[in-house]
Amino acid sequence: LTLCKLIETVCFQKKGRGECGQMGETDILKKWINESNYIVFFGGAGVSTESNIPDLEARTADHQEYDYPPETILSHSFYMRKPEEFYRFYRNKMLFPNAKPNRAHLALAKLEQEGKLKAVITQNNRRAAPAAGSKEVLELHGSDSATIVRAAAGLRMDDIL
């Protein structure tokens, strides 16, 4: 079971019994959620890939069209030295303006609305969790909708695309 399928199953009341009537993993998770009132979800690419956003490794595996490795291009010092090349990579490999929330995002938003989920912490810089209705979203690596880089350059998302 993928993380998205597990969350979806639990939050949208699907059956999840193991063999011989034993508690399956979905039943255990459902029990934990029902007994909890202070849940924090920590996620990453496992949720985003369900929205057809490839993980960073998949997006940057073929970076031969660039003269530098992704970890160099995504650094602040590279941005300061070569902003055009930074934005070319950022536009082609990092932005997914048409990505939509999936059922896991919706389930997490539902848990937040019920008062059980207190925050979503994500390693991704995507807008899917807020689009699903989550209010408390902490993006560990920044956000493609409010980056310091864009603010410093005075650019909007449309300028980059």
Active site residues per annotation: 141
CA distance 120 to 99: 18
Q: How many CA atoms lie within 13 A of 64 on its CB side?
A: 1
Which of 10, 94, 4, 12 lies closest to 50, judged by CA? 4
Q: Copy the structure tokens of residue 96.
A: 């997914």
Which of 86, 84, 80, 54 lies closest to 68, judged by CA? 86
Distances (CA, A) of 81 to 75, 104, 150: 10, 39, 15
